[in-house]
A and B are shown apart, each in its own frame.
Chain A
Amino acid sequence: MIFTDYLFYLFSSILVLASLRVITANNPVYSALSLVLAFFSAAGIWLLLHAEFLAIALVLVYVGAVMVLFLFVVMMLDINIEALKQRFWSYFPVALLIALLFIFEIYLVVTDKFFSSLDPVGIPLEKSNTHSIGSVLYTDYLLPFQVAAVILLVAIISAIVLTMHGKKSHKAIDPKDQIKVNRNDRVRVVKMKSEKKK
């Protein structure tokens, strides 16, 4: 075994343990942090496969942005774990069915010809990783790439629309109005003669 093999086993065991912690941890914050660790180990494995662009993008997008927002929400939740645990056994049969289905699907994918023909070590590219991905993405896969972009745009617009429900319900002041404020709107100078003491 060479050094990278040891690294592979290190990263994959951390990945498996962290993924298990995601579903077994009692505290949702621990679950979210374990998921971060799982992403990190996955990025490490991708680095070993010479996919440095994908590895860094995984850290940048999922660890740096998505999970931060996840953690943000999870931290503010007040979850009663005991109440959730009570209904564990009533959900168990359905969960078991889904799990078995999932394992079967993974088995079908992994034993497929496509996977057995792949080189598990990975081949270093001639050009830089970013360059190769870019050239494939903008030539061979141009249409799927643009379709994905349009779907993203729709998602962005719908997210904006969801937050705007007609009537203004908050008390925040529009900065435009704040800037436009005029002295005469707020202060009135009254000129009057000084009064004499009687």
Chain B
Amino acid sequence: MQEFFSQFFSSDVALTLSYLFKIILIVIPVMISVAYLTYFERRVIGFMQSRIGPNRVGYFGLLQPIADALKLMFKEIVLPTKSNNFLFFLAPLLSIAPALAAWAVIPFDYEMVLADINAGLLYVLAMTSIAVYGVIIAGWASNSKYAFLGSLRSAAQIVSYEIAMGFTLVGVLMCANSLNLGDIVIAQEGGISQWYCWPLFPLFIIYFISAVAETNRAPFDVAEGESEIVAGFHVEYSGMAFALFFLAEYANMILVSILAVIMFLGGWLSPVSFIPDGIFWLIIKVAFVLFCFLWLRATFPRYRYDQIMRLGWKVFIPLTLVWIIFVGAMMQTRYAGYFH
């Protein structure tokens, strides 16, 4: 890419342009996946509940996300009275920016990564932990009881589950001996039996459930809680301001799924030796994990709030700690090979 641009520009400009081009190459597919994830969600849940789902706009309703986006663009953005204008508009930006920034270190294939940094896993954790500010500020700046309650719930929930999620990642980096996401995938080479979901099975399950809770998805969607607090932190938002929250939520969903695939399901690696590795494996695995997200949403009723907190603090954190100690102990025995 850099060579291509350096035919026309000086080397610095060519480097910048090639990075910008790569960023566009990542952001546009992410945005398209977000749009079609909403369509996929409505169709899948529709079929699970014996309904049809959107099927009117375009063939099989395939243009529905585009129609939705157009509708949201032309809607008026309502500003609540006595709200804090500056923070009110800052909040959606604060929630979408980290959701997109975290994609910088995600490896899609060998050598197919925007920023191949050593502390990639930590960077992703840091970015996902910033996303909570969008929610908190939105709830506070809206000057509304429901929004405020929703943001308090969501902030407490995200902070609690982040700890369990961080501990599951400790297990992964112990096995892979690296914080670089590409190295973590390469450490799982050698077929389906080498994937980290087997030696770290409890951590994989805890990671998945924490990921659902982190993204405020059902059955952990008390932050929105339509039946209790209307729609939680984004109740006062409309038009594109609301759309940004929506985009951030789905971009985060895809992000945590792709992380689950990279850390536990072998990323772009093929499960069997006779089919080559490639980015299509990553896409298939991510689609499966996302399907599980929707499946959970269609299956389970919402958790009660105190039970969410209990699950996070009293079940997941001790469990992950015990499994980390177990993995560390096993690495000193002759079974260490299973854990690398």
Cβ of A45 within 8 Å of any chain B Cβ, yes or no, is: no
Of B122, B130, B155, the contact of A53 (CB 8 Å cutoff): B122
How far in angstroms is the closest Cβ of chain B from A132?
Answer: 10
Interface 1/0 per residue, A19-49 and B, CB below 8 Å: 0000000000100010010000000000000
Chain A: interface secondary structure? Answer: helix
Contacting residues, chain B, for A56 (C-beta < 8 A): 119, 122-123, 126
Contacting residues, chain B, for A175 (C-beta < 8 A): 307, 310
Cβ of B181 within 8 Å of any chain A Cβ, yes or no, is: no
Nearest-CB residue, chain B, relative to A57: B122
Interface 1/0 per residue, A44-72 and B, CB below 8 Å: 00000000110011011001110011011
Of B133, B140, B152, B159, the contact of A36 (CB 8 Å cutoff): B133
* CB atoms of B179 and A52 under 8 A apart: no
Cβ of A129 within 8 Å of any chain B Cβ, yes or no, is: yes
Report the bound CA distance from A57 to B129 in whole Å: 11
Nearest-CB residue, chain A, relative to B131: A64
Cβ of A4 within 8 Å of any chain B Cβ, yes or no, is: no
Cβ of B111 within 8 Å of any chain A Cβ, yes or no, is: no
* CB atoms of A75 and B140 under 8 A apart: yes
Report the bound CA distance from A47 to B125 in whole Å: 17
Which residues, 273 to 317 on B, are CB-close (under 8 Å) to A? 306-307, 310
* CB atoms of B129 and A130 under 8 A apart: no
Of A64, A128, A129, the contact of B162 (CB 8 Å cutoff): A64
Q: List 12 A-B contacts (CB under 8 A).
A: A56-B123, A63-B126, A64-B125, A64-B126, A65-B162, A71-B133, A71-B136, A72-B152, A72-B155, A76-B152, A128-B118, A128-B119
Which residues, 147 to 166 on B, are CB-close (under 8 Å) to A? 148, 152, 155-156, 159, 162
* CB atoms of B133 and A68 under 8 A apart: yes
Chain B: interface secondary structure? Answer: helix
Contacting residues, chain A, for B137 (C-beta < 8 A): 33
Of A33, A64, A76, the contact of B129 (CB 8 Å cutoff): A64
Contacting residues, chain B, for A96 (C-beta < 8 A): none
Cβ of B117 within 8 Å of any chain A Cβ, yes or no, is: yes
* CB atoms of A172 and B306 under 8 A apart: yes
Cβ of B132 within 8 Å of any chain A Cβ, yes or no, is: yes
Report the bound CA distance from A76 to B156 in whole Å: 14
* CB atoms of A53 and B132 under 8 A apart: no
Which residues, 103 to 144 on A, are CB-close (under 8 Å) to B? 128-130
Given contact pairs A130-B118, A172-B306, a sample of 4 additional A-B residue pairs in the complex whose CB atoms are under 8 Å apart: A56-B119, A57-B122, A60-B129, A68-B132
Nearest-CB residue, chain A, relative to B311: A175
Contacting residues, chain A, for B125 (C-beta < 8 A): 60, 64
Contacting residues, chain B, for A63 (C-beta < 8 A): 126, 129-130
How far in angstroms is the closest Cβ of chain B from A44?
Answer: 13
Contacting residues, chain B, for A69 (C-beta < 8 A): 159
* CB atoms of A59 and B130 under 8 A apart: yes
How far in angstroms is the closest Cβ of chain A from B82?
Answer: 14
Report the bound CA distance from A129 to B179 in whole Å: 11
How far in angstroms is the closest Cβ of chain A from B108?
Answer: 22
Contacting residues, chain A, for B132 (C-beta < 8 A): 64, 68
Nearest-CB residue, chain A, relative to B314: A175
Question: Do A68 and B119 contact each other (CB < 8 Å), given the known contacts A75-B136, A175-B307?
Answer: no
Contacting residues, chain B, for A64 (C-beta < 8 A): 125-126, 129-130, 132, 162
Question: Do A129 and B130 contact each other (CB < 8 Å), given the known contacts A60-B125, A75-B136, A175-B307?
Answer: no
Report the bound CA distance from A138 to B129 in whole Å: 27
Report the bound CA distance from A52 to B115 in whole Å: 13
Contacting residues, chain A, for B152 (C-beta < 8 A): 72, 76
* CB atoms of B119 and A53 under 8 A apart: yes
Nearest-CB residue, chain A, relative to B90: A33
* CB atoms of A52 and B119 under 8 A apart: yes
Contacting residues, chain A, for B310 (C-beta < 8 A): 175
Contacting residues, chain B, for A172 (C-beta < 8 A): 306
* Most chain B CB atoms below 10 A, which of A52, A56, A72, A75: A56
Interface 1/0 per residue, B154-187 and A, CB below 8 Å: 0110010010000000000000000110000000
* CB atoms of A68 and B136 under 8 A apart: yes
Which residues, 75 to 117 on B, are CB-close (under 8 Å) to A? 87, 117
